[in-house]
């Protein structure tokens, strides 16, 4: 799997539709302070389902929408699309080229699309879980994160290794199944109580 292209439209400082194509090998993004380098990595994280406005250096999610400048009025919508080459089938049950789009309107309305079809945030998160691009992965290391990782609690650090080893998805499914089992056993206990009262 390879990230082929990133298209930003109305995301932070990228008011105009801008496409960045990534070639094989290493891509470096250089530019003066404040020119939008970090906004590019934030756009990738946002499209992958980032839910924390603070980790995108905002107060609320709407802050990712182009806020306007002295010359230009604000926009009402932010949209980011990631295009992956999936010829190696790394993302299971997906075509050779996979696109993921996230959109947010100032009204608060938002959409996620996989291959131009509307999906839930959960579908995007699950598709990338254990791909190395999940939320806890090492794919994005922001300034200060290295130190935070070394200073984190052992159990938090373990989560990072679990994501890298590809077991996080199963752990999440296990936790969900355990919660359902607990709910079912609570319901059963209630049924037994009622049967007991009636008999």
> Which residues are at the interface with ligand ATP (CB under 6 A)?
12-13, 31, 33-39, 63, 65-67
Whose Cβ is closer to ligand ATP: residue 98's or residue 104's? 104
Secondary structure class of 128 (helix, strand, coil): helix
Shortest distance (Å) from residue 154 CB to ligand ATP: 31
| Minimum CB distance to ligand ATP, residue 67 (Å) | 4
CB of 172 to ligand ATP, least distance (A): 31
User: Token pair for residue 149?
Assistant: 């990782």
C-alpha closest to that of 76 among 9, 18, 8, 7: 9
Nearer to ligand ATP, 17 or 176 (CB): 17
Spatial contact of 111 and 103, defined as CB atoms under 8 Å apart: yes
Closer by beta carbon to ligand ATP, 11 or else 84 = 11
* Residue 11 DSSP symbol: B
Nearer to ligand ATP, 42 or 130 (CB): 42
Which residue ranges make up the annotated binding site? 32-39
Residue 79 CB, nearest approach to ligand ATP (Å): 13
Q: Would you list which residues are annotated within the binding site for ATP?
A: 32-39
Burial group, residue 78, by CB count within 10 angstroms (0-12, 13-18, 19+): buried
DSSP of 37-68, one letter per residue? HHHHHHHHHHHTT---SGGGT-SSGGGGB---
């Amino acid at each position: 799997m390879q990230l082929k292209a990133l298209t930003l439209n109305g995301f932070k400082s990228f008011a105009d539709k801008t496409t960045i194509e990534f070639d094989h090998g290493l891509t470096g993004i250089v530019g003066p302070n404040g020119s939008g380098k970090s906004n590019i990595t934030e756009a990738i994280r946002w499209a992958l389902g980032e839910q924390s406005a603070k980790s995108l250096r905002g107060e609320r999610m709407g802050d990712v929408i182009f806020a306007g400048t002295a010359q230009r009025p604000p926009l009402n919508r932010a949209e980011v699309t990631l295009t992956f080459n999936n010829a190696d089938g790394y993302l299971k049950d997906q075509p050779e080229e996979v696109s993921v789009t996230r959109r947010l309107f100032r009204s608060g309305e938002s959409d996620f699309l996989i291959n131009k079809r509307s999906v839930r945030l959960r579908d995007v998160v699950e598709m990338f879980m254990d791909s190395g691009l999940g939320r806890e992965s090492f794919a994005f290391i922001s300034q200060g994160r290295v130190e935070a990782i070394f200073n984190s609690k052992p159990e938090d650090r373990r989560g990072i290794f679990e994501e890298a080893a590809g077991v996080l998805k199963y752990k999440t499914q296990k936790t969900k199944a355990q919660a359902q089992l607990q709910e079912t056993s609570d319901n059963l206990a209630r049924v037994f109580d009622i049967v007991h009262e009636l008999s």
